[in-house]
Amino acid sequence: MICTILSIFASIFQSGWTGVNERTFIAVKPDGVQRKLVGEIVRRFERKGFKLVGLKLMQASEDLLRTHYSDLRSRPFFGKLVHFMNSGPVVAMVWQGQDVVKTARKMLGETNPADSLPGTIRGDYGVEMSRNVIHGSDSLESAQKEISLWFHPHELQNWESSSNSWIYN
């Protein structure tokens, strides 16, 4: 019994879902890739102190996109969104760090770039809502779902950053 509990605890800690090890899913959309913003976006997350644990450039399938955006299925723009996200490569990423889901959402800005503050990714680079450069998980639950949808467990790295002691107390 104790071994089982310790095994579950170790599994949760290793998977990175709590505290400093919280993870989120970030995707640079086709417009961001085409506009060569990937490096700038990665730079912002690294400078914030978050750790990159998964990264891949990919052409997302329609099936993957329909599943990813399933909560928007009844919206009139759903088909256009899937088509747009399938129109070019996407850079899918997993970032890890303390409060990374909440902090990343603030770094991204509002969904509508016109409502985003300067200094946010969408505020600095987004022009219209349908071309807003980036996607980020909006909750810990959606982060878990999206990460497991876009990445296999073996594609995520568990590594120690030498800068952790300079970032976390």
Extract the annotated binding site for ATP: 29, 77, 105, 111, 122, 132
What residues form the annotated binding site?
29, 77, 105, 111, 122, 132
Per the annotation, the verdict on 152 as an active-site residue is no
Question: Of 68, 135, 152, 154, which residue is the catalytic one?
Answer: 135
Q: What is the DSSP string of the chain?
A: -HHHHHHHHHHHHHHT-SGGG-EEEEEE-HHHHHTT-HHHHHHHHHHHT-EEEEEEEE---HHHHHHHTGGGTTSTTHHHHHHHHTSS-EEEEEEESTTHHHHHHHHH--SSGGGSPBTBHHHHH--BTTB-SEEE-SSHHHHHHHHHHH--GGGS-----TTHHHH--
Annotated active-site positions, please?
135
